[in-house]
């Protein structure tokens, strides 16, 4: 008798396990960047409830992103997200939705999914429960659907009797969580677009990203206008950093600008030429990683940023510096093109050269100096020595006698290696 009772319990439990099933449902939403974090937070909160109910947490998966570039240079990032949750199902019955009865107004809320929606006949039916057949005041009724296609409308109190599940409120709560998630996602995917972009100013909560090409064209205009670039580290009270000025000019807060500032902005507003240069600089920066060049951390970073196109305001200083970095690289490239070999290998000859710089290295023989010279036509000469010459000044032409050791190409540049250099 006792063992029969045990096996009855086992069978009962097994049937419970087999009867409670869940169906995974995924639904897609378009959501704007700055609302995604809020949505994630809200879902996290709902997931805490889901955990208490022992059901699988709701997941947000980002499927794709796209940039919407505004005329002002702000960029809005849109994400296509997929929300996956499990719809509770018991003995062939699954939850389709909830009807909220508020006075005479009915709010129909379907559980997000692909094909199941609350059939329209329930819209005008009132708070009737198909189980007890009593039409009384009820705040919510649940619409459930059997695998065989029949629908029922059941009051919250009757769910237990109708389904026979020992915790029907748990199932109902799971269904409600799914509906809340879908409500949230719908709410967050609606964007109020009525505020004028131009009056927001940079770093407004609504904009996290800006267009790199447009911003760089402002940087270029400022550098052309002033004749120099002021880096973040060189900026001071008297000398504002270029990235900062460019940010203020590109994203002006009109109400806070003086007439003079407005005039200045208008006078240096970038044109086609600046925009074209900006695109060239971006292409150059992108190519640094693509070409697998041996780049330092800084160049690696600006290359990564250039690939982004939609730039986070936190990276604006880096973004601005792409232009001076590009300029420097182009100058170097021009110099390399000019430089040719000079002299005959093995011979001792006279040259007029200017010293560009001296690099110092230390190895186990002691200190080694690299004297980097340029002759009057821009050809590069290198002298590797452990003595050097005293009193040689940078950028002052001097006449020297030297032996041509070899001709070589270094960093894409032709250079002549010399030794035994003496002043004449």
Q: Does 168 engage in binding with Zn ion (CB under 5 A)?
A: no
Site size toward Zn ion (CB under 5 A) is: 5
**Measured from the CB of residue 132, what is the shortest distance to Zn ion in angstroms?**
3
- Of 11-19, 150-158, 238-246, 267-275, which segment contacts Zn ion by CB under 5 A? 150-158
Residue number, 50 or 154, with CB nearest to Zn ion: 154
Say if residues 313 and 209 touch (Cβ distance below 8 Å).
yes
Residue number, 62 or 134, with CB nearest to Zn ion: 134
Among 31, 32, 60, 158, binds Zn ion (CB under 5 A): 158
Among 85, 88, 113, 155, binds Zn ion (CB under 5 A): 155
Please compute Rg for the chain using Cα positions: 36
CB atoms within 10 A of CB 207: 22
Say if residues 131 and 158 touch (Cβ distance below 8 Å).
yes
- Of 30-38, 155-163, 324-332, 336-344, which segment contacts Zn ion by CB under 5 A? 155-163
> What is the rounded CA–CA span in Å between residue 400 and residue 424?
5
Q: In this structure, what token pair is assigned to residue 42?
A: 């809200």
**Residue whose CB is nearest to Zn ion in the complex, by number:** 129
- Of 28-36, 149-157, 260-268, 335-343, which segment contacts Zn ion by CB under 5 A? 149-157
**Measured from the CB of residue 162, what is the shortest distance to Zn ion in angstroms?**
8
**Measured from the CB of residue 150, what is the shortest distance to Zn ion in angstroms?**
17
**Measured from the CB of residue 96, what is the shortest distance to Zn ion in angstroms?**
17
Q: Which of residues 71-130 bind Zn ion (CB under 5 A)?
A: 129
Q: Which of residues 128-147 bind Zn ion (CB under 5 A)?
A: 129, 131-132
Residue number, 129 or 402, with CB nearest to Zn ion: 129
Residue number, 106 or 279, with CB nearest to Zn ion: 106
The angle subtended at Cα 320 by Cα 317 and Cα 323, nearest 5°, is 145
**Measured from the CB of residue 193, what is the shortest distance to Zn ion in angstroms?**
46
**Measured from the CB of residue 45, what is the shortest distance to Zn ion in angstroms?**
31
**Measured from the CB of residue 127, what is the shortest distance to Zn ion in angstroms?**
10
Contact residues for Zn ion, defined by CB under 5 A: 129, 131-132, 155, 158
């Amino acid at each position: 008798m006792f063992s029969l009772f045990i096996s009855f319990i086992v069978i009962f439990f097994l049937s419970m396990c087999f009867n409670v099933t869940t169906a995974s449902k995924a639904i897609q939403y378009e959501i704007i960047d700055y609302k995604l974090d809020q949505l994630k937070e809200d879902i996290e909160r709902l997931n805490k409830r889901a955990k208490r109910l022992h059901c699988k947490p709701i997941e947000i998966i980002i499927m794709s992103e796209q940039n919407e570039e505004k005329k002002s240079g702000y960029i809005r990032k849109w994400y296509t997200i997929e929300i996956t949750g499990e719809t509770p199902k018991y003995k062939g019955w699954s939850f389709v939705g909830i009807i909220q009865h508020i006075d005479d107004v009915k709010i129909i809320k379907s559980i997000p999914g692909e094909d199941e929606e609350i059939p329209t006949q329930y819209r005008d039916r009132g708070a009737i429960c198909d189980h007890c057949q009593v039409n009384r005041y009820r705040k919510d009724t649940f619409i459930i659907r059997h695998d065989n296609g029949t629908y029922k409308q059941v009051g919250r109190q009757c769910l237990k009797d109708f389904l026979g599940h020992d915790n029907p409120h748990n199932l109902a709560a799971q269904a409600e969580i799914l509906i809340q998630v879908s409500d949230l996602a719908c709410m967050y995917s609606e964007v109020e677009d009525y505020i004028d972009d131009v009056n927001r100013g940079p770093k407004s909560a609504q904009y996290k990203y800006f267009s790199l090409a447009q911003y760089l064209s402002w940087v270029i205009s400022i550098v052309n206008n002033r004749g120099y670039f002021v880096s973040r580290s060189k900026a001071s009270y008297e000398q504002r950093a270029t990235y900062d000025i460019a940010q203020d000019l590109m994203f002006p807060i009109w109400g806070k600008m003086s007439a003079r500032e407005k005039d200045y902005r208008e006078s240096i507003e970038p044109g086609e030429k600046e925009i074209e240069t900006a695109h060239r600089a971006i292409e150059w920066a992108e190519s640094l990683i693509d070409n697998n060049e041996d780049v330092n951390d800084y160049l690696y970073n600006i290359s990564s940023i250039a690939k982004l196109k939609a730039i986070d305001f936190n990276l604006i200083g880096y973004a601005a510096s792409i232009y001076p970095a590009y300029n420097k690289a182009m100058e170097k490239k021009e110099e390399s093109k000019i430089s040719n070999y000079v002299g005959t290998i093995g011979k001792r000859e006279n040259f007029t050269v200017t010293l560009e710089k001296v690099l110092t290295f230390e190895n186990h023989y002691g200190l080694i100096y690299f004297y980097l010279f340029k002759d009057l036509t821009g050809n590069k000469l290198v002298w590797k020595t452990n003595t050097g010459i005293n009193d040689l000044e940078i950028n002052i032409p001097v006449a020297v006698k030297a032996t041509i050791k070899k001709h070589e190409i270094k960093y894409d540049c032709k250079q002549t290696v010399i030794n035994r250099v003496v002043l004449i």
